């Protein structure tokens, strides 16, 4: 029976792969296949049930079985070394676990999931989020939480809306997340920068900017910053909150990778904020499932009504199906188990990347040294541009990121590379850095005589 059941599955998959079965095709009846394979009907039904679980086919009562969509063959490994992609490691995303949560959410909420819901987010989800945030030293209540369609939506809304301090300008780290820069540009917001290095920011300079530049809010990524991977010390975070309070500046804290922090004593800015000065944003895109499009914002009470208006004008409410499934995932304790697994994965990859950089990169090249997270930045020699490196490595199927788009025009640097460890295989890290090192040395020695053909010589 087992051999015949597997044989049925393999034959249908072969027909899907070669195109003889396409989306919408009706499959042979159970009786027809049982006769073809000389087996009982239960064997065929078992095979069809397995194909349904893989979402390759679906059943229509009293009609039969049909193909869901064109079959996609597993991607061939092309030996690409990917330091560019910044989504979660596909091998650790909890697809099956979350599928169960989606199914349960539909069974639990039924029509509630497919009608308009609370604009602030499902209350039952916000209750679970309050408990989850306590693990990150963020203590609040459901009334201050907003569920949004990803952190980018939250940032875009905050750029566009007025703040209680009546100020207009924005301050950002340089470099910083390019999506925020894009939102600021689209809304024509006056945006100032403050230099961030592997040593942090100049707090005296920060005080000067707060005092003299009508700053509405300071957008800051205090843990595993994008692109540098930098994390602030608790003392620095405490001082930043004190300066914000002194000069009536709000802080927008993007803690998108805070769950990966191996330092249990590291706290968010929010934990040093007694007066409602910090707006805390937590996304699930990097640590969980990007397509979920769910993030949470903790707002000062003064800003709740105004934020509600702006959120309503953007999309009324975020996906209720995603919210219901996430609530079940949180309530079951699955997310805690998932985070425990991924902390080890990303910490190990980052350690391997730093060891390779230390061993292989040229002496006139420097790099940041985050303890975990996704990102590490490489500071190239003055004679080498990130664009040159990106283009030449692409010829060898190695992908890295030019970080120039992460700067305001007046701060722009052309010699900063960002490496992401999230989707690169552990076994590829050292060979990838070796090729990067060879590329840097080659460009540095040839200077203006670089072509892809020349690059093949090194």
Q: Which residue has the higher pLDDT, 22 or 178?
A: 178
Identify any residues that bridge with 251 across adjacent strands, giving them in sequence order. 218, 278
Two structure tokens written together for 36: 């073809």
3-class secondary-structure state, position 122: coil
Query: What per-residue confidence (pLDDT) applies to 72?
Result: 52
Average pLDDT over residues 119-125: 91
**Given pLDDT bands bounded at 50, 70 and 90, which one contains residue 2?**
low
Q: Is 200 left (phi over 0), alpha (psi -120 to 50) or beta?
A: left
**Total length of the chain:** 458
For all residues of the chain together, what is the average pLDDT?
89
Distance CA 67, CA 52 (A): 9
- CATH code for the part of the protein at 95-334: 3.40.640.10
pTM exceeds 0.85 for this model = no
Q: Is the pLDDT of residue 198 over 80?
A: yes
pLDDT in tens, 298-342: 999 999 999 999 998 888 778 888 888 899 889 988 888 889 999
Query: What per-residue confidence (pLDDT) applies to 265?
Result: 93
Q: Which residue has the higher pLDDT, 178 or 23?
A: 178
* CATH class label, 336-455: alpha beta
pLDDT in tens, 337-389: 889 999 999 999 999 999 999 999 999 999 999 999 999 999 999 999 999 99
Average pLDDT over residues 133-162: 95
* Residue 278 phi, psi dihedral angles, 5° rounding: -105, 130
Query: What per-residue confidence (pLDDT) applies to 75?
Result: 47
Whether 329 and 98 have beta carbons less than 8 Å apart is answered as yes
**Given pLDDT bands bounded at 50, 70 and 90, which one contains residue 454?**
low
Distance CA 153, CA 161 (A): 12
Whether 265 and 234 have beta carbons less than 8 Å apart is answered as yes
Cα 343-283-250 angle, rounded to 5 deg: 115
- CATH code for the part of the protein at 2-67: 1.10.10.10
**Given pLDDT bands bounded at 50, 70 and 90, which one contains residue 213?**
very high
Domain ranges in the chain? 2-67, 95-334, 336-455
For 196, 254, 332, the CA distances from 226, given in Å and listed in that order, are 11, 10, 31
């Amino acid at each position: 029976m087992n051999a015949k059941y597997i044989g049925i599955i393999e034959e249908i998959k072969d027909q899907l792969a070669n195109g003889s079965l396409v989306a919408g095709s009706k499959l042979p009846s159970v009786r027809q296949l049982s006769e073809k394979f000389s087996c009982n009907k239960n064997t065929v039904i078992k095979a069809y049930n397995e194909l349904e679980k893989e979402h390759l086919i679906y059943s229509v009562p009293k009609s039969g079985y049909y193909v869901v969509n064109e079959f996609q063959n597993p991607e061939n490994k092309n030996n690409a070394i990917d330091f560019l992609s910044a989504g979660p490691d596909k091998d650790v995303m909890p697809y099956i676990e979350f599928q169960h949560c989606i199914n349960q959410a539909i069974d639990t909420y039924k029509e509630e999931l497919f009608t308009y819901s609370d604009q602030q987010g499902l209350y039952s989800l916000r209750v679970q989020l309050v408990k989850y945030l306590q693990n990150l030293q963020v203590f609040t209540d459901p009334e201050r939480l907003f569920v949004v369609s990803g952190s980018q939506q939250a940032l875009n809304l905050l750029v566009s809306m007025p703040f209680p301090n009546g100020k207009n300008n924005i301050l950002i780290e340089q470099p910083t997340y390019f999506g925020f820069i894009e939102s600021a540009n689209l809304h024509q917001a006056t945006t100032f920068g403050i230099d961030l290095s592997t040593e942090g920011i100049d707090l005296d300079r920060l005080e000067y900017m707060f005092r003299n530049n009508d700053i509405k809010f300071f957008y800051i990524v205090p843990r595993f910053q994008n692109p540098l991977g930098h994390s602030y010390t608790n003392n620095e975070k405490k001082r930043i909150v004190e300066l914000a309070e002194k000069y009536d500046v709000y802080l927008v804290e993007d803690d998108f990778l805070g769950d990966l922090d191996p330092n249990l004593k590291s706290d968010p800015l929010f934990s040093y904020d007694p007066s409602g000065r910090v707006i805390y944003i937590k996304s699930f895109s990097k640590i969980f499932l990007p397509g979920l499009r769910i993030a949470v914002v903790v707002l000062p009470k003064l800003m709740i009504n105004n934020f509600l208006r702006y959120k309503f004008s953007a999309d009324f409410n975020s996906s209720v199906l995603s919210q219901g499934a996430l609530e079940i995932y949180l309530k079951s304790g699955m997310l805690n188990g998932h985070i425990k697994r991924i902390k080890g994965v990303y910490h190990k990859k980052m350690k391997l990347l730093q060891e390779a950089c230390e061993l292989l990169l040229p002496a006139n090249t420097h790099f940041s040294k985050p303890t975990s997270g996704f990102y590490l930045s490489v500071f190239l020699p003055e004679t080498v541009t990130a664009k040159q490196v990106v283009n030449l490595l692409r010829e060898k199927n190695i992908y890295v990121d030019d970080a120039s788009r992460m700067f305001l025009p007046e701060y722009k640097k052309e010699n900063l590379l960002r490496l992401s460890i999230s989707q690169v295989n552990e076994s590829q890290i050292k060979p990838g850095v070796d090729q990067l090192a060879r590329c840097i040395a080659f460009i540095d020695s040839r200077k203006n005589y670089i072509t892809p053909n020349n690059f093949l010589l090194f």
